[in-house]
């Protein structure tokens, strides 16, 4: 069994977080495919998957270029272990056991009810003060809940066997207008509806973003299209 990682980036000359991510994955023995300035995340992931020439039982990771993996090699591979089960669909660090009519996996009320799973660390910046001229940064753990089975997962890191991705299908749904949005909810709920069990697993990472892109119009349009074409709620 081999493990591949497919990463979309806009920076052909890798610097900073992306360079560190690639270095970490390579040190773990993972084959990395970088796709630069692609037109759509759906077509990019399909292109990346096809280029791997992977076997059905090989694990394919789709992840953001702005994450930093904190696991060592042993704990990282162990976190991906559920992928080898024939009943497993897609795994990642954070998701929910209940996707409501709003199709927002991280919905605050359900978080308070204990329906979410997993953890992601975020980088946050403090504003400059009159005393300190430079803004400082800090790592903030966002704990959604214990790891375990979920309906949907956040798209910053998704892993599954190739045969699962083939069954889910990576093409953009015709009803989606946006080229970069809501792919994670589409992919993971489709795996769930096909009868596979998705999991939030202990992949320990820092996401160097606070999800600002959620506010863009294409995200809202794809969410509305998803809601119109999906029987909700979904739960386990």
CATH number, domain of 181, equals 3.90.550.10
Q: What is the pLDDT of residue 133?
A: 45
Let me know how many helices (H) and strands (E) the chain has, helices first.
7, 15
Give the Cα separation of 97 and 199 in Å (integer). Answer: 10
Q: What is the pLDDT of residue 125?
A: 62
The answer to whether 191 touches 164, Cβ cutoff 8 Å, is: yes
Q: Which two tokens stand for residue 179?
A: 């080229």
The answer to whether 127 touches 215, Cβ cutoff 8 Å, is: no
- This prediction has a pTM of 0.92
Q: What is the pLDDT of residue 214?
A: 54
Query: Which residue carries 């809501």 as its tokens?
Result: 182
Q: HSE-up of 58 (CA within 13 Å, CB side)?
A: 15
Q: What is the pLDDT of residue 15?
A: 74
User: Low-confidence residues of the chain, pLDDT below 50?
Assistant: 127-134
Distances from the Cα of 65 to the Cαs of 5, 114, 118, 171, in angstroms? 11, 29, 20, 21
Which phi and psi angles does 112 have, rounded to 5°? -65, -25
Of 191, 235, 7, 171, the residue nearest 85 (C-alpha): 191
Give the Cα separation of 108 and 67 in Å (integer). Answer: 23
| Number of domains within the chain | 1
Q: What is the pLDDT of residue 124?
A: 72
The domain containing residue 228 runs over which residues?
Answer: 3-235
Give the Cα separation of 52 and 129 in Å (integer). Answer: 49
Of 207, 176, 219, 201, the residue nearest 89 (C-alpha): 201
Q: What is the pLDDT of residue 48?
A: 97
Q: Which two tokens stand for residue 126?
A: 């403090």
Q: What is the pLDDT of residue 183?
A: 97
């Amino acid at each position: 069994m081999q493990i591949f990682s497919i990463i979309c980036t806009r920076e052909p000359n890798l610097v900073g977080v992306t360079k560190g991510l690639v270095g970490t994955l390579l040190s773990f023995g993972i084959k990395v495919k970088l796709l630069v300035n692609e037109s759509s995340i759906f077509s990019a992931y399909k292109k990346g998957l096809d280029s791997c020439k992977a076997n059905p039982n090989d694990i394919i990771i789709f992840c953001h270029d702005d994450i930093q993996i904190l696991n060592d090699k042993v704990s990282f591979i162990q976190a991906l272990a559920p992928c080898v089960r024939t009943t497993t669909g897609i795994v990642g660090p954070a998701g929910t056991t209940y996707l409501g009519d709003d199709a927002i996996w991280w919905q605050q009320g359900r978080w308070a009810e204990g329906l979410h799973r997993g953890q992601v660390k975020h980088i946050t910046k403090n504003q400059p003060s009159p005393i300190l001229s430079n803004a400082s940064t800090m790592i903030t753990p966002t704990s959604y809940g214990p790891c375990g089975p979920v309906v949907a997962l956040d798209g910053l890191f998704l892993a599954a066997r190739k045969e699962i991705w083939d069954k889910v299908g990576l093409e953009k749904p015709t009803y989606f207008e946006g080229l970069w949005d809501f792919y994670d909810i589409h992919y993971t709920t489709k795996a769930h509806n096909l009868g596979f069990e998705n999991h939030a697993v202990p992949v320990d990472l820092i996401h160097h973003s606070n999800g600002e892109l959620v506010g863009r119009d294409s995200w809202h349009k794809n969410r509305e299209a998803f809601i119109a074409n999906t029987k909700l709620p979904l739960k386990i």
